[in-house]
Structure 1
Amino acid sequence: MAALRTVSGYTGMILFCFLCAIATAKGEEQVPLVAWASDGFALSPVSAPSAGHTVSVEELESHLNTALSTVPHNLLLFLQDRLSVDDFTLYGGVFGNKPDSVFQNLEVSALLSSSSLWLPSVSSSATALVSTLLQNQIDAAPLYMNPDTLAQMRLNASVAALLVFRLPYSGGDMMSTKEVLSGNDEVIGQVLSIMKAQSVPYTAVFTALWPSRVIEEVAPAVQSVWSRSLLQSRREEPTATNPPLEFKEKGSTCILLWAEKLVVSQYRSEKWERHDLAPKTFGEDVEPNLSGSSCNETHSLLVLNYEDVLNYRSFKLIFVMNRRHYKVSARHWFTMDLVHLEYDGKTATFNGSRYIYAPAEYSYRCESVSSSRYPQLSPHSDKDNANDWQISFDDFQIQGFNVGGKDFSYASDCASFFTPGIWMGLVTSLLMVLALTYGLHMIMQLRTMDRFDDPKGPAISVPQTE
């Protein structure tokens, strides 16, 4: 019985360890969604979710199937980077058309519509797929646009189209969140005015990829008292970073680049000579020479021209990016195919298409892009001088397509899922499970004695020797 109790105790401990290992869950992040139709059309009624319920992917697809069954299939998707219900309560009138609301065009359009769909709590995993869900409604690929491009097009009311307009949430250090949201609302107003001028009926959807964290601005005096109340210490303001490098084509930004360091190294005289190009590239007082750069819907070329780099009079750092459609994933992806170094008539070319890629509507970000250690960039050919050069970009981020403003879109990070920390945790957990399993196996092998000494029998005699 004692052995059985011991085994039961070890079994319970093992079950407790496994339950602790699998009982960690993260709360779903929530994003609001608003949909409405143009004049003369009404969304089919949808049963409102209960208070506090978060709409999942399957539920959102069901709601959209029901609501969009009787409305025009010219769909307008206004996809903001971040959004929360707090943005409506703090900066808007929550569809009450408050005079100082930053959502004037959005609220007026929703109020004038015969019906609208308001989902205050949708999981971010569902809103991230809203473009795909709408695409399934009309069986048409999304077109990423801006008001200027839309004004030059002539839409056909009888042909279904999905027009996606990416909107930022943060405008950097120079613009507040309220100003950015007001600018986004102006974009919505321009798009709706263009659709009305062309007499094209539409159905509009406004949502975001991720929730925002709204912090209401506090008066300086109140902020000072609040800071002193926390252990009598002042809060350190975050260090301001330079804005990303922009290349504009026909007045609109089409390429964004940012890096903490842009280091190029050449092997000379049996040593590597390094030069960081970042101070000449980023900064409010820096105006880099981008002559030779270009961009369109399928190809982007960013040319950074420098002088006096490693004693070369003319030096160019060139990024070549392409946008392609892949049938396997049924979506467009962009790749940074080549990185060129041109110096005094010579070239060194590196290939990055194998590792540097992201969905076409995203940006690409990586903590380190290098041609030496764990290389993402490899020499493109043995015929040029790439073997004499090394390039290294720290905190690198680039976007060459579907740029919606001065801010990067959602970033596709190069970090792998199984990071060193995750591997350490998995290996440690495996060793603990093996130790517990071995201990349990040893305890299960315990057996009671099958023979005992008979106290009534003759005593054992041991002969004594002198």
Structure 2
Amino acid sequence: MGLRNYFLFLSFIATAVTARDYVPVLLWGEPISRDSDSSVSGLSKLGTDEFYNYLLKKVKENRPNIVLFVEENLSLEDFSWKDVDDQGAFPLLSNMSKSSEDLLFFPSVRNPYKAVRKLEKDGYSWGKYKQEMASSLPDEGIIITVKLTEPDSLEGRPDLLRSHDSEISNIYSNLQRYSPNIIGIYTGNHSSWIDADVKYSRVKRSEPEELVIETFLAPSTEPLVLMDSNKTVLIAVSKPIIFRDGSETYNLSDTTITPTVQKAKGTIALDVNFKFQNKIAEVDFFFKGSGEGDWSLAHIIVDEKKDQILVPSLEIGAPKGYSYHCSRSVMFADKDNQVTLIMNNFQVQPWVKDAKFGPSIDCVPYFSIAIWSGLFVVFILTAVLAWAIVMIMDINTMDRFDDAKGKTITIASAE
């Protein structure tokens, strides 16, 4: 039974590894050999040799140039994805393909890169794309590879594919201008539609009001620093800031102008203009000072929501000269929890000195609930152990013994 399970496990691993080698392929360009189209179905799963034989039949007559665009990861979900406006990830590539006389999509091909590489033995030369090579491109017989770059930590999968769509369109149009006899191939090295940079959802509950906090993008290590020209208020927060209005969610990562400050008696208001989707949202942070030498962030106002007041889910404040820091998600919400602003790795200080943060007061106290619980349990166990030791030490040995030959021991009631 154990040997059988072992072989089943190996079969599962082999199947999973093999499945990653099957990726979609989009092929477009001048119709070179029509007889090859009838031998291969666009809905079939092709092996490396089958796809190589198809390519060989397609290019055997005129030997067109081939430009190969390679993603590290590509899947069918990338081609079927659409946003709320019913726009896909490849608008330019779709328009370019519609104008071509020959377009074919293979949903599952094993190692297409290796299949294209095999054309070297049929007389094709191999080279990497450079912008200056377009004007000196030969008329036939060359394969040009374009490796599409991986995203940075702030770029989502749809934005990445759209940037690659623009890059593919520009490169192909540039090459086609000097070499009309050219075929384009778009594929990937591996099939992996679950990508590390795809947005995800994380749920937390803030203790005072049990509000649900949704984070749609992993926070970046690069902070967004906000400071007015007079260096009165300093805010640092990880990008992006999440602004949610009902079911709509926006990422606020860039500002349009330097933040400004408005002062009144014992209060400071920091005005920040954020950009999102060709719009500008003005966010005002209101700070109050107390006679005891403390400050607090009372609320914020978002002008985009007609002066909607958003209050923090946690009490934000510190003594003057100190900053407030929280590595957890800090949420500002209206009374109905419909409009929210979420910040990660949030640090703030009004009335700053020397344009830098002072010592920080963290939102998680030094003695957290877990530490207090542990100390309480230790105290109870210590008390029980001390009581047990005292009881053991209070045990005394007998000072009188009964002798069978002697007088019977009589214990008076007074004893």
TM range (shorter): 0.3 to 0.5
Larger-Rg structure: 2
User: How does the TM-score come out when normalised to structure 2?
Assistant: 0.42
